[in-house]
Structure 1
Amino acid sequence: MKFMVGQHDGARSVFVVDGNGARNLTRAAPEIGTDLLRLAKGMLSAEEVAARIAELPNIALADIQVLLPIARPSKIICLGLNYVDHVKEGGYEIPDYPALFMRGGNSIMPAGAPMVRPACSERLDYEAELMVIVGTGGRHIAEADALSHVFGYTAFNDGSVRDYQRKTHQWTPGKNFDATGAIGPLVVTPDELPLGAAGLKIESRVGSEILQSANTSDMMWSVAKAIATISEYATLEPGDLIAMGTPPGVGHARTPPRWLRPGEVIDVEIEGIGICSSPIVAEEDMFAKAAE
């Protein structure tokens, strides 16, 4: 099943997506709320969802404004250095434990919303990533059981301001500029994808320029291993987001570097999940428009 959270006719709702259309599940089942958190907690089964939307009218996806799938996630945990060739292009040693960092809520935004190049830097980079939305929470989750804790998968662009990322051994500054992490638009349940979302083509593009092209099977830490590793130190909760790292081809590793520029549109596409598209805007231009 494919879900999307969005705004239609002035109301925020959860939609069930089929092709280029969607049905308003919140309208049929108000108890689920207006994002995916209660569904992630298991409020309705797939069979119950299908029954609720059976008689609803189809709404064109183009008429729905995309919103974040989880409005206020408790945690956004990100893996760095999870593809061998990306590790090498960054000049790092192959790790024996994943590089883990966190993002704050202000740093993320829905697919389709502007990705903001900050006024203090021109080094805004792209990172195509698979993102996991946690369903059943837990601590000390065994790798063998970990995939049963996944509610769904979506696309993520881990926009990174590289000079600020490099200012410290901790990557927090470069990974937490406002509106640099794009999520969505679709969330796909595990039954629609290969086990652990492995074997999926993942790309980033600007127009016809292919920037990254790889496969999720190339990840060193699988989804199951990542969940098991993270849950050793943190209790995972429904609606938590886990970003699975990016393949090679990022802008800072190119000669010359390839930074995102205002006026461009960056697309992250994952096979079977969809395209996360973000127009690039300059922060100073946003200030100028706000002052008008």
Structure 2
Amino acid sequence: MKFASYRSDGRPFYGAVTEAGMIALNDIWPQWSTLFEAVCADGLGALAKAAQDRAVTHTDFEYEMVMPDARRILCVGVNFPDRNAEYKDGSEQPKFMSLFPRFASGFTGHDQPLIRPPESPQLDYEGEVAVIIGKGGRRIAQADAYDHIAALTLCNEGTIRDWVRHAKFNVTQGKNWDRSGAMGPWLVPFTDAAQLDDARIVTRVNGEVRQDDVLSRMMHPIRREIEYISTFMTLQPGDIIVTGTPTGSGARLDPPQFLKPGDVVEVEVNGIGILRNSIEDETP
């Protein structure tokens, strides 16, 4: 069962995804007005059970960012060996992971355009897996880390490259342009370690494979990410961890190849699905 946030006739809904369309579920539990609130209440199992007895309610709809009211999104940077080597700075594999925040306003949904701002032509792509925390905790052991994951989704962690260099130590301003990235199309409940341990990320631009790697090659595996992050902050249900992108982003190609209007980017992970977005310039 997959769950998504979407709009139909201008109204927001969340529900179960089927081949025939959406099954709206937000009217069943008025206390869960969004998918984020359902996740926080450990409600994905209840949603799946309810969807089994309901008919499709919407065939004409638009996907939204999968949890548009997510409060905390933390991203792991430079998390594959080849990605570290791309920087050509002679550095060894880092002992600790790089982290930075993103905000929900920086993401759009599946089949929606990523927006290139007039301030920069350097809109880049980064295909990643995102994990949704379902059970909070502090100082979570790696052996227990997967017990805290509620669901998985996909992320194109779009970046305005020259804006990540505006300051000496942070990348936040290059990572949070409105609708510069995407997250979705849906949440896939996490039930089996193989969903992550055997996952392969493939990112395509106009059908050309640009990124292709497996999560098992991460320098900081997802179990370690959850352990490390929960050391300094208490993880809460609904938190999102964007786990890292492989080598092959546009900025690291020779010459660099940034996204432009008319391009189509697809991020695919086996067992989760395909996140697809076009590119448009911002309309003043």
| TM-score, length basis structure 2 | 0.92
Which residue of 47, 50, 54 corresponds with 1:49? 47
Q: Which SS does the other structure have where 2:50 is aligned?
A: helix
Give the structure with the larger helix fraction.
1
Matches within 5 A, 1:84-163: 84-92=81-89, 93=91, 94-163=93-162
Aligned to 1:186: 186
- Residue type matched to 2:139 in 1? H
- Give the whole-Å Cα distance in 1 for the aligned partners of 2:74 and 2:49: 34
Change over 3 Å in CA distance of 1:15–1:213 after alignment to 2: same
Query: Is 1:273 aligned to 2:272, yes or no?
Result: yes
Deviation at 1:199, TM superposition (A): 1.5
Letter in 1 for 2:150: F
Q: How far did residue 22 of structure 1 move?
A: 3.2
Other structure's SS at 1:231 match: helix
Which SS does the other structure have where 1:156 is aligned? strand
Partner of 1:290: none
TM score, norm. by length of structure 1: 0.89
Change (3 A) 1:59 1:146: same
* % same residue: 34
8 A contact 2:36–2:69 mirrored in 1: no
Quickly say closer, same or farther: Cα 1:10–1:104, change in 2 above 3 A.
closer
Structure 2 gaps, min length 5: none
Q: Deviations over 1:57-111 (max 9, x none)?
A: 1256x62211222232221100001111111112252211001111133222222
Could you say what secondary structure the match of 2:96 adopts?
A: coil
The answer for unaligned runs of 5 or more in structure 1 is 288-292
* Partner deviation per Cα, 1:208-255 (whole Å, 9 max, x = no partner): 211111112221222221011001111111111110110011111111
260 and 226 in structure 1: CA distance in 2 versus 1, 3 angstrom threshold: same
Aligned to 1:256: 255
Give distance in 1, aligned partners of 2:77 and 2:142.
19
Q: Which runs of 4+ in 1 moved over 6 A?
A: none
Q: Quick one: distance in 1 between partners of 2:194 and 2:37?
A: 22
Which residue type is aligned with residue 197 of structure 1? L
Residues paired across the two proteins, number: 281
Alpha-carbon distance in structure 2 between the residues aligned to 1:9 and 1:117: 26
2:76 to 66, 76, 79: 79
Select the residue among 59, 64, 70 that pairs with 2:67.
Answer: 70
Letter in 1 for 2:183: I
| 2:11 is the alignment partner of 1:7 | no
Would the alpha carbon gap of residues 224 and 37 (structure 1) be closer, same or farther in structure 2, given more than 3 Å must change? farther
Amino acid at match of 2:13: S
Q: Give distance in 2, aligned partners of 1:9 and 1:54.
A: 24
Residue by residue, what CA displacement relative to the aligned partner does 1:89-134 show, whole Å, maximum 9, x if unpaired? 1225221100111113322222222211121111111100001111
Residue 25 of structure 2 corresponds to 25
- State the alpha-carbon separation in 2 of the partners of residues 99 and 280 from structure 1: 28
Distance in 2, matches of 1:181 and 1:108, equals 5
- Aligned mates of 1:76, 1:149 — CA distance in 2: 16
Counterpart contact for 2:154–2:185, Cα < 8 Å: yes
Distance 1:103 1:59, change over 3 A: same
Cα distance per residue 1:170-190 (max 9 Å; x no partner): 111211222112100111111
Equivalent residue, structure 2, for 1:36: 36
Q: Which amino acid aligns with 2:73?
A: I
Distance across 1 between alignment mates of 2:16 and 2:215: 25
SS in 1 for 2:185: coil
Over aligned residue pairs, what C-alpha RMSD do you find? 1.9
CA–CA separation in structure 2 for the residues paired with 1:125 and 1:160: 5
> In the alignment, what sits opposite 1:282?
281
